[in-house]
């Protein structure tokens, strides 16, 4: 089975059925994206009327394609999808993405669902969709999608029932210089669902963390079983909509999903060691943290900042999230008192104040506390325009296995420059102290669950030290 699922992400050849000359048509956009993303396999646009589209030869039908086809992407009116499925079956195509809408999310579409599924089962075709935006895999250049995608190769995989959720995450990941490993939009999920993709991603070496946006699950038990298995190898983050009456009405009309009771869902996620995100932004932040940071070995955090206000906000969020703020050791404080201004707060949060507005001082505080067993992670908050922050964090990250979560805010142009510098070497920057803490808390929770199941060290090795790792990735792939 994996063999076929892999064809959705790394096919040798792709047919775009419904490729169009009209730039406003989805069949045009998909072809264009595929070509521009640098896909190396063979591309066969299928269109009965135009002999060439975007400079390449088209074919009148699937049958007319002269060689074998690994993947078909279908962007034609729903009514004629069944007959095209028959052609795909004849051609021996095993993987089909149906982008077209107009299936069971609308009243008269249920009949079409059934017809498509029947053909697929008979011919052993696996189907993604219908009513979906397709698949994007920057690592193979397979950008078989029509909107909001990233070409940047990264390590977060996104499984989504919503095009805009996938698009938003990819946009943010691109702006943050993080990129993605895969994005697959499942749409109405008449065949391929989260379970298939999860099991595939478990062994995908490009993927370090998996984010899933869910509207509804046809088989909750199968999902939870797969999630419990995969989460032992890689962290899984879930964002679920339809958790209220209004939201579930919306998902019903969007992808025809029945959402179920959210308390039961939440409890099952917890059982499977899956991390639940409470908003779209949190969903992204948590993935970003997993992508870029080593796992902490416990809940102890030292907050280091240059302005007490953001430190207090971070401390509040830590306590609400169940993170601990241990005091630095006396000897560490004493050594720091010799170097830093007397106006600093030698506690937790550790406030450098404007009197010690020097990025090296953040590094010093980490150095003096990195061997404290009760401190498992650092949150550094640059709350002013502090020049040189990137250099210090880059250096100090190589000196400890403990995660150093960076927040930068209120720094104007300096902030932008430092943030870019950090991104370039694989250091993720969070925009507020609260968002940094919530992301770190997910890491703490996940690492706790791994330690309980004895897979901590294996997975930790896999996730690795982020800064070295990301640079290596960049060398290999970008």
Alpha helices in 176-244 (DSSP H): 194-202, 220-230
Query: Mask of contacts with a copy of itself, 177-216, x by CB under 8 A?
Result: ------------------------------------x-x-
* Residue of 12, 50, 219, 253 interacting with a copy of itself (CB under 8 A): 253
- DSSP label at 477? H
Q: How far is the CB of 75 from a copy of itself (least distance, A)?
A: 10
Cα(437)–Cα(421) distance, integer angstroms: 22
* Residue of 61, 353, 400, 465 interacting with a copy of itself (CB under 8 A): 353
Backbone angles phi, psi at 331, to 5 degrees: -65, -30
Examine residue 235 and tell whether it contacts a copy of itself (CB under 8 A): no
| In contact, 110 and 144? CB cutoff 8 Å | no
| In contact, 132 and 156? CB cutoff 8 Å | no
Closest CA to 188 of 255, 112, 125: 255
Residue number with CB closer to a copy of itself (70 or 351): 351
Backbone angles phi, psi at 277, to 5 degrees: -100, 145
Residues 39-78 binding a copy of itself (CB under 8 A) are none
* Residue of 41, 82, 431, 464 interacting with a copy of itself (CB under 8 A): 431
Size of the site for a copy of itself (CB under 8 A): 80
Residues 7-26 binding a copy of itself (CB under 8 A) are 26
Helix (H) or strand (E) holding 303: strand 301-305
Cα(52)–Cα(38) distance, integer angstroms: 19
Residue number with CB closer to a copy of itself (93 or 313): 313
Q: DSSP for 323-345? A: -B-PPPPHHHHHHHHHHS-TTSB
Residue number with CB closer to a copy of itself (131 or 397): 131
* Residue of 306, 376, 380, 447 interacting with a copy of itself (CB under 8 A): 306
* Residue of 96, 97, 156, 165 interacting with a copy of itself (CB under 8 A): 165
Q: How far is the CB of 325 from a copy of itself (least distance, A)?
A: 5
Helix (H) or strand (E) holding 275: strand 275-277
Residues 261-290 binding a copy of itself (CB under 8 A) are 279-281
Residues 311-340 binding a copy of itself (CB under 8 A) are 311-313, 315-320, 325
Backbone angles phi, psi at 237, to 5 degrees: -115, 130
Cα(156)–Cα(237) distance, integer angstroms: 11
Cα(194)–Cα(371) distance, integer angstroms: 41
* Residue of 11, 45, 129, 242 interacting with a copy of itself (CB under 8 A): 242
Examine residue 130 and tell whether it contacts a copy of itself (CB under 8 A): no
Residue number with CB closer to a copy of itself (62 or 76): 76
Residue number with CB closer to a copy of itself (171 or 233): 171
Residues 96-115 binding a copy of itself (CB under 8 A) are 101-102, 105-106
CA quadruple 172, 174, 178, 184: dihedral positive or negative? positive
Residues 396-415 binding a copy of itself (CB under 8 A) are 409-412, 415
Helix (H) or strand (E) holding 418: helix 412-424
Q: Omega into 349 within 30° of 0, i.e. cis?
A: yes
Q: How far is the CB of 129 from a copy of itself (least distance, A)?
A: 12
Q: How many helices (H) and strands (E) does the chain have?
A: 18, 19
Q: Which region, judged by CB under 8 A, interacts with a copy of itself, from 66-74, 164-172, 446-454, 466-474?
A: 164-172
| In contact, 213 and 165? CB cutoff 8 Å | yes
Q: Which region, judged by CB under 8 A, interacts with a copy of itself, from 84-92, 122-130, 290-298, 378-386?
A: 378-386
Q: Residues 335, 340, 341, 346: what is their CA dihedral angle, to the nearest 10 degrees?
A: -60
Examine residue 245 and tell whether it contacts a copy of itself (CB under 8 A): yes
Examine residue 147 and tell whether it contacts a copy of itself (CB under 8 A): yes
* Residue of 51, 221, 246, 330 interacting with a copy of itself (CB under 8 A): 246
- Token representation of residue 302: 């030292």
* Residue of 231, 241, 292, 449 interacting with a copy of itself (CB under 8 A): 241
């Amino acid at each position: 089975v994996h063999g076929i699922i892999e064809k959705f992400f790394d096919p040798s050849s792709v047919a775009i059925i419904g490729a169009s000359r009209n730039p406003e048509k989805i069949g045009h956009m998909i072809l264009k994206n595929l070509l521009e993303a640098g896909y190396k396999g063979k591309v066969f646009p299928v269109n009965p009327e135009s002999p060439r589209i975007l400079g390449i030869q088209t074919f009148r039908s699937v049958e007319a394609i002269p060689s074998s086809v690994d993947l078909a992407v279908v962007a034609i009116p729903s009514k004629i999808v069944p007959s095209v499925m028959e052609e795909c079956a004849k051609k021996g195509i095993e993987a089909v993405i149906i982008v077209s809408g107009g299936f069971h999310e609308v009243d008269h579409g249920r009949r079409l669902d059934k017809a498509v599924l029947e053909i697929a089962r008979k011919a052993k075709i696996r189907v993604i969709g219908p009513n979906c935006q397709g698949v994007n895999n920057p690592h193979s250049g397979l950008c078989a999608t029509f909107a909001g995608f990233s070409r940047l190769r990264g390590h977060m995989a996104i499984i989504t029932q919503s095009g805009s959720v996938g698009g938003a995450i990819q946009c943010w990941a691109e702006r943050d210089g993080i990129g993605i490993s895969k994005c697959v939009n499942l749409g109405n999920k008449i065949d391929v669902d989260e379970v298939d993709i999860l099991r595939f991603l478990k062994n995908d070496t490009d993927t370090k963390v998996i984010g899933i946006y869910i509207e509804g699950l046809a088989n909750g038990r199968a999902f939870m079983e797969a999630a419990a298995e995969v989460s032992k190898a890689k962290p899984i983050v879930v964002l679920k909509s339809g958790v209220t009456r209004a939201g579930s009405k919306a998902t019903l009309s969007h992808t025809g999903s029945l959402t179920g009771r959210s308390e039961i869902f939440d409890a099952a996620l917890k059982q499977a060691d899956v991390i639940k995100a409470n908003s779209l932004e949190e969903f992204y932040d948590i993935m970003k943290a997993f992508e870029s940071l080593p796992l902490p070995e416990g809940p102890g955090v030292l907050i280091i900042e240059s302005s007490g206000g953001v430190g207090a906000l971070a401390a509040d969020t830590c306590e609400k999230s169940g993170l601990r703020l241990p005091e630095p050791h006396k000897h560490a404080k004493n050594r720091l008192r010799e170097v830093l201004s007397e106006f600093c707060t030698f506690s937790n949060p550790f406030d450098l104040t404007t009197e010690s507005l020097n990025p090296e001082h953040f590094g010093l505080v980490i150095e003096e506390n990195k061997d404290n067993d009760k401190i498992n992670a650092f949150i550094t908050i640059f709350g002013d325009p502090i020049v040189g922050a990137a250099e210090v964090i880059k250096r100090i990250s190589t000196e400890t296995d403990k995660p150093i979560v960076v927040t930068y805010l209120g720094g104007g142009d300096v902030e932008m420059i430092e943030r870019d510098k950090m991104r370039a070497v694989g250091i993720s920057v969070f925009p507020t102290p609260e968002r940094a803490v919530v992301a770190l808390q997910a890491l703490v929770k996940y690492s706790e669950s791994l330690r309980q199941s004895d897979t901590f060290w294996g997975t930790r090795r896999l996730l690795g030290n982020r800064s070295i790792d990301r640079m290596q990735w960049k060398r290999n792939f970008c």
